[in-house]
Amino acid sequence: MVYFRQYVKRCSALKQLDEKKEEHPVEFAHLAHTFEKLEKTSSRLALIAILAELFRLIDSPDEIEKVCYLLQGRVAPFFEALEIGMAEKTVARAIAIAYGSTPEHVFTLYATFGDLGLVAEQLRKQAGMVSNVLRVEDVFQALKTIAQASGKGTVEKRIALLADLLRQVDCLSEQICRENCIGKPAAGHWRRDHAGRVGNSIPGRKMLYTRLHN
């Protein structure tokens, strides 16, 4: 009985310490760099290791949930019909607004480079844009707001919202945001499978990941 009381007391103390633990939100730029690492990696084990390292840095279950969605290029579970699905031409218009250019100039550069990312990078440098420090939460909510836009003038609303987001992020983060809006997330073909394996391998993550996909 004495040992049991000591055990309960110890658990209570640990719980209090855990509650007082300061959470450090992950910057979206860090997540974008992680995505870049994943892009350059073909080894299955290396992919899982990179994701495991990312998840260990996240303290908040809510933030883990958002990262899991972003890893799959989504802002909601698969059972929710909430996707952005913007056309490349629409995203190009958002890029033009974000960097003070014109859609015609963006399309001309796109025809030359064949990559909206390179177009955005060049225009951003020419405009002398300075990125803000955004958290995963900030970008996730911005993307979700774009996806939730509806009604009359939906396309224009989404263009304006995306342009505002692009002004605030760095080049690498811009790529992730843009690809999520188009529906072509980087290495999207493996994300769901490997995120699940990582979620099952880290204590406390398995239940959350299962909930996200059921």
Please report, for the chain, the start and end positions of each structural domain, with discontinuous segments joined by +: 25-80+188-213, 88-182
Burial class (CB in 10 A: 0-12, 13-18, 19+), 4: exposed
Helix runs in 57-102, H state only:
61-71, 88-98
68, amino acid identity: C
Are 134 and 27 a contacting pair, CB within 8 Å? yes
Task: Please state, in angstroms and as integers, the Cα–Cα distance from residue 168 to each residue in 5, 91, 162, following that order.
Answer: 53, 16, 10
pTM, entire model: 0.76
Taking the domain 88-182, which CATH number applies? Answer: 1.10.3260.10
**pLDDT tens digits, the chain, 214 residues: what are they?**
444 344 334 545 444 545 444 567 889 999 989 988 888 888 888 888 888 898 888 888 899 889 888 888 888 888 888 888 888 899 999 999 999 999 999 999 999 988 888 898 889 888 888 888 899 999 999 999 999 998 899 999 999 999 999 999 988 888 888 888 887 655 554 445 555 555 554 544 554 444 444 5
